[in-house]
A and B are shown apart, each in its own frame.
Chain A
Amino acid sequence: MTRLLPFPLLSAGLLALWLLLNQTLSPGQICLGGLVALVGGWLFARLGPPQTKVRRPGVIIRLCVSVMTDILRSNFAVARILLGRGNPQRSSGFVEIPLALRDPYGLAVLACIITSTPGTLWASFNPATGKLIIHVLDLIEERVWIETIKNRYEWPLREIFE
């Protein structure tokens, strides 16, 4: 099992990707996709990536929902700012966030979330101190941002990956 499928989730994803791209569920394409998934898993294992376990599907779904609502909300907020309807005294700036999350996959997902949300930008992360610096377009209070990132994203990611 482990030798054949070192990364079952990755292989399942590759198979799903193959079938979606071909828009079919024919047995031939399932075989081909299965081959791609198997070989893809082996090749990825050769890279020696860190192992991880993904847990708590309930938390994953809740995280996805909150990320989507946040992206939607901040889209409208940033659109308002860009159209000049926001607070004229708006100031942007950097916020330092001490993170306890250390799992590389968790950090990668956090980077996707932060950059994909309009209004926040991943600036730098120091793996030695766990200090993340983000740039915020509409910075009102640093503390609020620190709490938002930690409670809304970091906590569920730690539940999922650590």
Chain B
Amino acid sequence: MIEAAQLPLWVALLTAMFLLVGAAFALIGSFGLLRLANFYERAHAPTLGNTFGTACILAASVLCFSVQQSRPMLHEVLIAIFAFVTTPVTLMVLVRAVLFRDRLEGRNGMPRPEVPSRTAGPPG
């Protein structure tokens, strides 16, 4: 279906370069999951694959398919936007769950617990 051999050389090279760089960043991010010391640090690592890694792979996709079909493919822009908008949701849920547990267990290095003040909320 995809005739990679028909791509001009410079497009093939650029596409391959973007793919490799993107994959490398995703790999470094996953490697970070293995290396880092605690949960909060580990939560930083996958963002690499999520931002620059994704951006590179999407750039490769845009380049390759734009040249092949001789019209711009903009689906990739949507992928980037949705990734940007949805990442915080899962990450915040995870982080808040761990934060809650750590505060409850009183582990070291946690920010001091915010006393859930019933008076500060809306009246009633």
Contact = CB atoms under 8 A, between A and B. Distances in A.
Given A94-B111, A111-B88, A82 B95 contact: no
Interface residues of A, number: 37
B28 A122 contact: no
Contact of B25 (A20, A79, A119, A135): A79
Contacts of A137: 41, 44
B108 to A, nearest CB: 11
Nearest to A76: B52
Interface residues of B, number: 38
Dominant secondary structure of chain B at its interface with chain A:
helix
A116 B88 contact: yes
A118 interface: yes
A21 B32 CA distance: 34
Given A121-B43, A137-B44, A128 B75 contact: no
Contacts of B25: 75, 79
Given A21-B75, A79-B28, A115-B47, 6 more contacts: A79-B48, A94-B109, A118-B47, A122-B88, A122-B95, A131-B114
Contacts of B88: 111-112, 114-116, 122
B61 interface: no
Interface string A64-95: 00000001100100110111100000001110
Interface stretch (B1-9, B12-20, B77-85): B77-85
Interface string B106-124: 0001110010010011000
In the A-B complex, the 9 residue pairs with the smallest Cβ-Cβ separation, listed nearest first, are A82-B32, A75-B52, A128-B120, A115-B88, A118-B47, A137-B44, A94-B111, A111-B88, A135-B40
Contact of A82 (B28, B40, B78): B28
B48 to A, nearest CB: 5
A112 B90 CA distance: 11
Given A20-B74, A75-B48, A111-B92, A92 B85 contact: no
Contacts of A131: 114
Given A111-B92, A123-B95, A83 B28 contact: yes
Contact of B48 (A23, A82, A128): A82
Nearest to B51: A71
Contact of B41 (A92, A114, A117): A92
Given A82-B31, A112-B87, A122-B95, A92 B40 contact: yes
Given A112-B84, A116-B87, A121-B40, A78 B48 contact: yes
